[in-house]
A and B are shown apart, each in its own frame.
Chain A
Amino acid sequence: MPEQQLSLLSLVIGASIPVQLVMFILLIASMVSWLMIGQRWWYLRQMGIGFRAFETTFWSGVDLNELFRDGSQRLNDNESVEGVESVFRSGFREFNRLTKNEGTDRDAVMEGTERAMRVALSREEEKLNIHLPFLASVASVSPYIGLFGTVWGIMQSFRGLATMQQATLAVVAPGISEALIATAMGLFAAIPAVLAYNRFSADVDALYGRYDTFADEFTSILHRRVHSG
């Protein structure tokens, strides 16, 4: 080294094995959580856009059979049909199937339809919530992991201090600095994860609420159709 500096790289390389392990775990956690954040952000955005688009077509007075056929067409093309549209499709399919059988009780038809939509809704909720538990775990655990690394590093540097004749700051400072990197990394991983988790779970709640509302509205439309017909 041309100039003796306490560079970050030399600190990380010079750290003890447990501290290095902690740093590695935190780095991986941070990278994976950012991957999840990116994926979730994109997915929730798509779902939001898809919901608005579907709602517009749904209330535009289009024929429901037409709408259902359009979705089937897309499924055949190997495109995804997700979100509120799949709720609509499962409800509508069940409704058609039950009304085809003559003599089925009206209430039984509505009950079957509602059940089918509930199942689809919970499937969608599951899809919306993928990866969010991971973000929550990173958010809550990585500060502790970092703290563990720091405590370990400081323990080591104080143990080294015990053999010194004269205790000065210069003896312990590099060890503490090195140990504190672990906490910094833990916070670096945790803060975005916390923010993303809060944001995404709020988004998921909102979206799920809108799905639910849509399901209720659709049920009432079908109800009207059953009882008028």
Chain B
Amino acid sequence: MRISKNLKKFAVYSLAGLFSLALHGFAIFLLLHGWTDKSPDHKPRRPHFIQATLIQMKPAAKAQNKQAARKKAAAAKKRAEQQRQQKARKKKEAQRKKAERKKADQKKARAEKTRRDKALKKKQAADKARKAAEHKQQAEREKQAKEVQRQEQQEELQRQARAQALASALDSEDEFLADEQSMQLAQGYSDYIQQRIIANWNRPLSARRGMEAILSIQLVPTGQVVGVSVIQSSGNEAFDLSAQQAVKKVGRFDKLQELSRQSPAVFEQNFRQFRLVFRPEDLRL
């Protein structure tokens, strides 16, 4: 072996250097590939913000009102339909009445004709017979008149009932619209409540996605919280406790005071006692 001393040294160093390079290259390759394959979905989720600026007294202009408008349109259509039906019914009734009267007239004419015929035939028939005939006729006429009257009365009654029904339908529709308005109002306030609670909510480290605790909260018209209780536990005591703490920490929902002053009915209906679902959605775990 006639390798010079320096060359041998150099060879040793370069071999060691190659070994080192290969080792690091392999380690980096392994890390890059193993890392990306193993980690399933680490999408950096945006923090869960809630904008609750929509405390509004009137239904908003467009988007929110769309549904209401659609409902209103449907209601109007229904009303028109009802009116049309009613008209048609009336017309039919009138026709029927006319036909009846005509029939009655015909009958009368016929009766008269027969009477005249009879009279013609038995010119000087007995007074009795004629009187009887007259009686009969009169009775019949009376009966007819009575019947007509009765029909009219009935019709009147029906019409009244219909009007009443329509009025009540209109009333209920108005009620429905008012309901919707109050619902929107309530929605704004419940967004506010949600925001306040989220701001005061310190979740425990053991909170996981998929947990869900339902709390029942009682308020008085000043917005003061007077009662909090867990209706449905999430299974994690710390989590339930943190939710309760969040409500207690808020203590008082100031804005609800104005609501209860403005429309006590909405307050009574929505916020005297309500349920709140606590669900950590923004967690990655």
What is A's interface to B at a CB cutoff of 8 Å? 4-9, 27, 30-32, 34-39, 42-43, 77-80, 164-166, 168-171, 173-174, 188
How near does chain B come to A66, taking the closest CB pair, in angstroms? 21
B57 within 8 Å of A by Cβ?
A: no
User: How far is it, in angstroms, between the C-alpha of A31 and the C-alpha of B22 when the chains are bound?
Assistant: 10
B23 within 8 Å of A by Cβ?
A: yes
Q: Please tell me the size bucket of the interface on B.
A: 20 to 34
* Smallest Cβ-Cβ distance to A167: which chain B residue: B47
How near does chain A come to B70, taking the closest CB pair, in angstroms? 37
B62 within 8 Å of A by Cβ?
A: no
Which residues in A have their C-beta under 8 angstroms from that of B12? 39, 42-43
Extra contacts, 18 of them, besides A38-B15, A165-B49 (Cβ < 8 A), are: A4-B44, A8-B31, A34-B23, A34-B24, A35-B16, A35-B19, A37-B16, A39-B12, A78-B4, A78-B5, A79-B2, A79-B3, A80-B5, A80-B8, A166-B49, A168-B282, A174-B44, A188-B27
* Smallest Cβ-Cβ distance to A165: which chain B residue: B49
How near does chain A come to B73, taking the closest CB pair, in angstroms? 42
Stretch at the interface among B32-40, B166-174, B251-259: B32-40
Which residues in A have their C-beta under 8 angstroms from that of B41? 5
User: How far is it, in angstroms, between the C-alpha of A77 and the C-alpha of B27 when the chains are bound?
Assistant: 42
* Smallest Cβ-Cβ distance to A4: which chain B residue: B43
For residues 60 through 94 of chain B, which have their beta carbon under 8 Å from a beta carbon of chain A? none
Which residues in A have their C-beta under 8 angstroms from that of B31? 8
Partner of A39, one of B4, B16, B32: B16
A8-B36, A27-B24 as given contacts; A36 in contact with B43, CB under 8 Å: no
Q: Is the CB of A31 within 8 A of B20?
A: yes
User: How far is it, in angstroms, between the C-alpha of A30 and the C-alpha of B42 when the chains are bound?
Assistant: 30
For residues 194 through 240 of chain B, which have their beta carbon under 8 Å from a beta carbon of chain A? none
User: How far is it, in angstroms, between the C-alpha of A49 and the C-alpha of B192 when the chains are bound?
Assistant: 82
Q: Main SS of chain A's interface residues? A: helix
User: How far is it, in angstroms, between the C-alpha of A30 and the C-alpha of B36 when the chains are bound?
Assistant: 24
Which residues in B have their C-beta under 8 angstroms from that of A79? 1-3, 5
Residue of A9, A34, A36, A173 most packed against chain B (CB within 10 A): A34
Going nearest first, the 6 A-B pairs with the smallest beta carbon separation are: A38-B16, A34-B20, A6-B42, A39-B16, A35-B20, A8-B35
Q: Is the CB of A5 within 8 A of B36?
A: yes
User: How far is it, in angstroms, between the C-alpha of A169 and the C-alpha of B203 when the chains are bound?
Assistant: 12
Which residues in A have their C-beta under 8 angstroms from that of B17? 35, 38
Q: Is the CB of B23 within 8 A of A170?
A: no
Q: Is the CB of B2 within 8 A of A77?
A: yes
User: How far is it, in angstroms, between the C-alpha of A57 and the C-alpha of B45 when the chains are bound?
Assistant: 74
How near does chain B come to A89, taking the closest CB pair, in angstroms? 16
User: How far is it, in angstroms, between the C-alpha of A43 and the C-alpha of B16 when the chains are bound?
Assistant: 11
* Smallest Cβ-Cβ distance to A8: which chain B residue: B35
How near does chain A come to B196, taking the closest CB pair, in angstroms? 14
B163 within 8 Å of A by Cβ?
A: no
Partner of A170, one of B5, B13, B16, B284: B284
User: How far is it, in angstroms, between the C-alpha of A170 and the C-alpha of B44 when the chains are bound?
Assistant: 6
Which residues in A have their C-beta under 8 angstroms from that of B3? 79
Which residues in B have their C-beta under 8 angstroms from that of A168? 47-48, 282-283
